[in-house]
């Protein structure tokens, strides 16, 4: 989930195309050559190489063309970046491809218009308006990718590092055309190519119906995650055509996108598709065992059947694929998903029903267990959270364990001897202030810290905490809330939401904090390093960069809480028993 949403496959794993070589074997020119090449006129059926023009040397239409897997796509120059939008990276997941792994993109003839975003994935009606204020079209045919490249005059390298962003939104909302879809803040520096994409969400992407698969009508698991891998494969195949270096890909994401990053690190099919990773506000342990995923899928089908007078429910013993699931309307699926989503936080406190699942094959084990054993991708990682992650999760976003009953449910799953340690770490729990801290730490902070302390044994890790909060957010008690860094990081302090939260002052300081953060992200993408003033995280010092008015490093911030969680979550890779929580014997005030 992101603050801006709140109320106010042909490449084999680990293999890369030769540098400056396309998927079809074409030899791509270096960026220096791109500065001098003229755009050839492109006609339908032309089989040559098509490059974007250098500034001042436009083609017949004045717009840049590039050949990718599937055909030629025409972008547009916007200021100091070239942009291509809505490029298919997989076949439309519709009809017989609904609930199937992504298939290769369907080719096209002629020149495809790449000036508009593709449709966003189906999601609840109230999220169809982006943070930029524009209405957004939704469609199951949503698997498209966008590329932003600095004009050649800005770059002095033969090829540029690539930053691939995965949007957040709880795996049930969001799209590549949210404000974070505007990557000018990164590409406009001339230091990197920026890529982002849509992937399937909600019941179409993140409920596991694979138990209902049949030989006649197979159903795959982890569809949204598979989409993300397909997008990264597309980058490997095609990014050299845009002047990007497929050997220097950094994947980064926030919230659900951060969870995607930590999950991709533990997904064998994704290994070798990126060199570095950044996980912002990642609920890194929100990956669930198959028994629990099956319960949630069955409950969804029960809801879907109830909406149709009992028709379409799976039988108590047989496992046919329900017709309403495979052929039902998107609106029916979304309506059932909305009901399921309102039930889960109370029935399974702290659970997110739309999330990756440990299916034993595509995701063979929990990411925490994979990183613990050294089986996750051993790539450099930046990981961190915001100071008060839990402060915005209320009202229709009330999904964290912040109420007394939900906190009781979380306590019921913890070792009895650890409960007094947790109460001491959050005095007054479950009063509202302590409950906000507890729930945010449960959902985001401790999973990220746990991931960092395990991953740092095998690869360099840098940990941060974003503490900057504009005056208005401090006054209303939100402080550095979940997602608040995103406007500044993407250099979008001009949009209405960012202007609102800085309306009482602090806009320039907020923008500077984002600029420093963006500079560090870019340096990491370029070289895998941060700076001498931001030491790597290790078990001894636990150095953490605090991003505020001025940045500084603290060692092991919130040490007492960290130790309490380590005891409280004895097996964070197994947070669920697969049964509803109804115990009242572990009340946190006892």
Q: Which residues are catalytic?
A: 255, 389, 482
Rounded to a whole number of angstroms, the distance between the first and last alpha carbons of the chain is 32
CA distance 212 to 294: 10
Burial grade of 15 (CB within 10 A; 0-12, 13-18, 19 or more) = exposed
Nearest CA-CA partner of 101 in 257, 12, 242, 228 = 228
What's the half-sphere exposure (Cβ side, CA atoms, 13 Å) at 94?
A: 13
Rounded CA gap, 298 and 289, in Å?
Answer: 14
Calculate the CA 523 to chain-centre distance. 21
Pairing of strands 71-74, 381-386: unpaired
How far is Cα 437 from Cα 391, in angstroms, rounded to an integer? 8
Residue 83's DSSP bridge partners are 76, 148
- The number of helix segments (H) and strand segments (E) in the chain equals 18, 14
What does the DSSP 8-state code read for residue 444? I
3-state SS, residue 351: coil
Q: Give me the phi and psi of 97, to 5 degrees please.
A: -95, 0
How many of the other CB atoms lie within 10 Å of CB of 529?
14
Identify the DSSP state of 445.
I
- For residue 590, what are its two tokens? 């006892």
Residue found by looking up tokens 């014997």 in the block: 585
Give the integer Cα–Cα distance in Å for 277 and 75.
28
Residues 6+ apart with CB under 8 A from 85: 75, 114, 115, 116, 117, 118, 144, 146
């Amino acid at each position: 989930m992101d603050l801006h949403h709140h109320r106010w496959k042909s490449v084999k794993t680990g293999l890369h195309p030769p540098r400056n070589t396309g998927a079809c074997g074409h030899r791509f020119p270096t960026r220096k050559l791109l500065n001098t090449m003229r755009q050839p006129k492109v006609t339908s059926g032309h089989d040559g190489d098509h490059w974007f023009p250098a500034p001042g040397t436009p083609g017949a239409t004045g717009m840049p063309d590039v050949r990718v897997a599937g055909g030629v796509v025409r972008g547009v120059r916007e200021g100091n970046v070239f942009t291509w939008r809505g490029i298919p990276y997989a076949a439309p997941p519709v009809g017989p491809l609904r609930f199937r792994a992504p298939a290769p993109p369907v080719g096209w003839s002629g020149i495809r218009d790449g000036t508009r975003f593709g449709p966003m994935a189906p999601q609840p009606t109230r999220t169809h308006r982006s943070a930029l204020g524009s209405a957004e079209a939704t469609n199951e045919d949503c698997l498209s990718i966008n590329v932003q490249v600095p004009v050649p005059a800005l770059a002095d390298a033969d090829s540029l590092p690539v930053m691939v962003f995965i949007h957040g939104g709880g795996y049930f909302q969001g799209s590549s055309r949210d404000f974070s879809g505007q990557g000018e803040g990164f590409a406009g520096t001339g230091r990197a190519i920026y890529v982002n994409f849509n992937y399937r969400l909600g019941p179409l992407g993140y409920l596991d119906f694979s138990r209902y698969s049949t030989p006649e009508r197979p159903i795959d698991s982890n569809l949204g995650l598979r989409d993300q891998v397909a997008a990264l494969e597309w980058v490997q195949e095609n990014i050299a055509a845009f002047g990007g270096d497929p050997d220097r890909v950094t994947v980064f994401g926030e919230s659900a996108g951060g969870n995607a990053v930590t999950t991709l690190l533990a997904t064998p099919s994704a290994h070798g598709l990126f060199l570095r990773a950044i996980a912002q506000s990642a609920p890194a342990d929100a990956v669930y065992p198959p028994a629990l995923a099956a319960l949630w899928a069955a409950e969804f089908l029960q809801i879907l059947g109830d909406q149709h007078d009992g028709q379409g429910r799976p039988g108590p013993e047989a496992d046919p694929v329900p017709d309403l699931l495979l052929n039902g309307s998107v609106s029916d699926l979304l309506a059932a998903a909305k009901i399921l989503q309102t039930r889960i936080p109370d029935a399974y406190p702290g659970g997110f029903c739309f999330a990756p699942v440990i299916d034993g094959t595509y995701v063979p084990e929990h990411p925490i267990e994979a990183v613990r054993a050294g089986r996750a991708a051993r790539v450099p990682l930046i990981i961190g959270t915001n100071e008060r992650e839990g402060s915005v999760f209320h009202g229709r976003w009330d999904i964290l364990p912040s109420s007394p009953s939900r906190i009781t449910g979380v306590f019921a799953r913890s070792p009895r001897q650890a409960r007094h340690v947790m109460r001491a770490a959050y005095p007054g729990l479950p009063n509202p202030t302590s409950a906000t801290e507890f729930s945010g730490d449960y959902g985001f902070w401790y999973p990220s810290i746990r991931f960092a302390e395990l991953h740092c044994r095998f690869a360099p890790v840098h940990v941060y905490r974003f503490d900057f909060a504009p005056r208005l957010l401090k006054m209303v008690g939100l402080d550095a809330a979940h997602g608040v860094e995103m406007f500044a990081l993407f250099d979008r302090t001009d949009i209405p939401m960012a202007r609102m939260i800085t309306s009482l002052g602090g806009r320039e300081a907020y923008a500077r904090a984002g600029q420093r953060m963006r500079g560090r992200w870019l340096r990491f993408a370029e070289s895998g390093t941060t700076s001498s003033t931001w030491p790597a995280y290790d078990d001894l010092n636990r150095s953490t960069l605090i991003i505020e008015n001025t940045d500084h490093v603290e060692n092991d911030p919130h040490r007492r809480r960290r130790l309490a969680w380590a005891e409280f979550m004895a097996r964070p890779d197994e947070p669920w028993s697969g049964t509803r929580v109804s115990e009242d014997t572990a009340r946190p005030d006892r």
